[in-house]
Amino acid sequence: MMKKVGIVTDSTSCIPKELVDKHGIYVVPLMIVIDGQGYRDGVDITPGEVYKIMRKRENLPTTSTPSVGDFLSAFHKMGEQAESLLCINVTSGQSKIYDTALVARGIAKEEMPATTIEVLDSRAASSALGLIVVEAARAADRGADLPQTMNVVRGMIQRVNYLAIVDNLFYLARTGRIGRAAAWAGTILNIKPIVGHDTSVGLTIPVERPRTKAKATSRLLDLMAKKIGESPVHVIVNHADEQEEGERLKAEIASRFNCVELYLTEFTPGMGVHAGPGVLGAAFFTGE
């Protein structure tokens, strides 16, 4: 029996593999380019392999947006399993992925006229996008139709939070992605900045600039506590080649908050190429 709605997203979403498999989510990988060779994010190369290359600070990798053909292939494959498709992508404020998916949708309408396809800009990033996508997939599993699933996504965009610690501003400064944190560049070696992602504008913005990773982690937890209070919370923790720190942060969150679900995933190199190794972050939203 075909599902009413099939869910497609991109690999910046940092969704735990068990949830991708459980809910039948199609993840379109970004391309990681190293020495002119392209590798599919999470398919041909692991996050750890990318970050180990980056730590050398030589021949640093770059990223490439998935092609129109990549999304078109995803739509065709998922169209065999669902009556309609919903593609949810990383914020258009920081990537051209959404635009590419829209182009693919236009072609798919000609090639797959019986399948309704919608593409939504999540205005979110990393595992905040992942949480949105998973909730959409859960709604689809419950039998929601396309308009109902889209409403779940729009509601989730208002609810998700994302906070992360950047270990070193070198990489953001190098790629020009430093944005409003440019004023911090003068102390580039001396701070472990906390950034947050604001879905109202679809941009990552500087929050605080602690001097050490320990202080930054403590402040991140405090900032989470202000938003969560006593409410039940859903959390995905990310790390960029910092497994032990990721495990510690996950344990702290488990002990401090009433977690409905709590996962640890690697921070996608699709974004980590810009932010660098050592990133430690958490996406979360409150509710049962």
Tokens standing for 138? 């859960």
pLDDT at 191: 84
d(CA 252, CA 282): 12
d(CA 59, CA 208): 31
Tens digit of pLDDT at every position of the chain (288 positions): 789 999 999 999 999 999 999 999 999 999 999 999 999 998 999 999 999 999 887 788 999 999 999 999 999 999 999 999 999 999 998 899 999 999 999 999 999 999 999 999 999 999 999 999 999 999 999 999 999 999 999 999 999 999 999 987 777 766 555 554 555 555 555 789 899 999 988 988 889 989 899 999 999 999 999 999 999 999 999 999 999 999 999 999 999 999 999 999 999 998 888 888 999 999 999 998
Pick the CATH number of 161-286 from 3.30.1180.10, 3.40.605.10, 3.40.50.300, 3.40.50.2300: 3.30.1180.10
Q: Which residues contact 22 (CB under 8 A, 6 or more apart)?
A: none
Segments making up each domain of the chain, as ranges: 3-30+65-157, 161-286
Pick the CATH number of 3-30+65-157 from 3.40.50.300, 3.20.20.80, 3.40.50.10440, 3.10.28.10: 3.40.50.10440
pLDDT at 120: 98
